[in-house]
A and B are shown apart, each in its own frame.
Chain A
Amino acid sequence: MTLINLSGIYKIYNVGGEEVRALDGVDLTINNNEYLAIMGPSGSGKSTMMNMIGCLDSPTSGIYEFEGEKVHIMDDGQLASIRNRKIGFVFQTFNLLPKASALHNVEIPLVYANIRKEKRIEMASEALKSVGLEDRIHHKPNELSGGQRQRVAIARALVNNPSIILADEPTGNLDSKSGHEILAIFDDLHAQGNTIILVTHEDDIAKHAKRTIRLFDGKITEDIKVK
């Protein structure tokens, strides 16, 4: 089943009077339960691509459909809502709130989804358990290791049962052992039926994915599926 459909996507910036085509006519279809890696050198447009798929950014022109909803015509409020309901972000720098406990960090998307307190705690605990942090739920980020922090971030991304998990260089700030653990979690999540999109520049990491897209100068230059 088609989850995401991008067709003829352009993202054009005007930098100092000069036109920069961050995305230059991208067509892409992503199906349910795909494990996709987006690769490319810096400046290739992969960040813009991720922001576009993550509904953080709107295309200059083109059509973006997410589960049939027309994202390209949405306003800020609708974009926020679709991010909240359908997309789970995992960032390179974890981006946890430093003063909040692991549990509270995971609860936040549910607060914005207006779910009541008891239910939130239940769902957040469950998500933390699924990443193996059930005994760390009251720890603050600075009391956790890098790998544990990233697992909290994954729990936060999972807690709303999103349609896709979008991870931007998720192992970039981790040592290799923690990195492997995190990738193992993604592999598991994929095995459970989740759709995962990894943005990376490392081939080792991209190998975990079942499909790899390479971007160069805002265009898709390669789209390889692994059986």
Chain B
Amino acid sequence: MKTRVVVTGMGVVSPIGNGLEAFEKSLREGHSGIRFQPELEKLQFGCQVAGVSELSEETINSYFSEEQQIGMNSHILFACIAAMDAWKDAGLEILPENSEKVHWDCGAIVGTGVGGIDTIGERLVPMTNEGRVRRLGSTIIERVMVSGASAKVGGLLGLGGQVSSNSCACSTGTEAIAEAAWRIEQGLCNRMLAGGSEGVSLYTWAGFDAMRVLNRNHNQSPEKASRPMSASAAGFVPGSGAGVLMIESLESAQARGARIYAELIGKAVNCGGQRMGGSMTAPNPTGVQRCIQEALTNANIQGSQVDAINGHLTATFADPYEIQNWQQGLQVTPETFPRINATKSLIGHALGAAGGLESVACVLQIYKKFIHGSLNCSDLHEKIKDYQHSVIQETQDFPDLRVLAKASFGFGDVNSCLIFKAWESK
């Protein structure tokens, strides 16, 4: 009998609030976390707005000792806070670092898109080129290695399962959750922290700006800049933060009386091969549809049973194609298309963290039975007008929300899809 997998804890650091309460409030009330960034204007970026997850020194010091903060840059800091919050939210105690206890039954897959690029750009490269290698100190490696975030999480919490950082661009956070669930299903562990983290660095955003895929049209009106599904969408807005779920076997969750937010009933990960219309930067539609269908098969449900979709929806040219892919993948009609929203309209595109942050949003919505409004799409794209009734622009209660599909699509033509279901204890 297949092991069932549930969500028992969550943690979030985001441009619209840190912690579940603040995050949920902003989702419900439609607060944009996009702000003008003066440094981007100074450096002549085209897009000068971004979603920055802010943490006060006071907050950071409340989580970590000075020693624990050594070797942290922004993406590691965000991941650790989100992971520790998810751990505590799951009802588990954080033991002191000098405790000898290792949680052999728990691991972490916390991925990232570009990881410690801030450390690379601000310290490693300039100091090395100046011949000042000796002055780099001991913490460069742990800050720039791709597994930096998961490694720090593993040490803070004493994890003894697989501790790893996956990386598949914008699909990272969502894929992490799928990978964690598979590990639990195989009986290799009881629980896993899973999600993604992305730091605040103009070196991350520069490459996207150079590709002209960021919105340059709303530097004076940042809260209107992230416009998934709109006719005036002109590229995505970069974001940052971390979203981490505690994924657990149902047996383990019930044995310890854990609160269950939702069940993860299906998942799929694939690639479109950069063929059949796909490329490094654009999805193969057949690949996307197959991913959605495989997730449905894994969940043992029909597409018509999906009540809501939290889309990838970045506000690039790909949005209308994504809607069509969902329609084909779920095998529904425009008339029967489920409700759909885009969390990126509030938080921007947090890249490797997007799937983690947005999955937290999904689980909150399914647990609390609401669907948050998508900002900035009152001028719906021409090709999405047939789905107008499904596009949720104002937050609404949704008492019948039982099944929610989440997908992410990344550079490399990589796809991941999760199917969450409301927890119904029998």
A and B form one complex: no
B residues with a Cβ closer than 8 A to A are: none
A residues with a Cβ closer than 8 A to B are: none
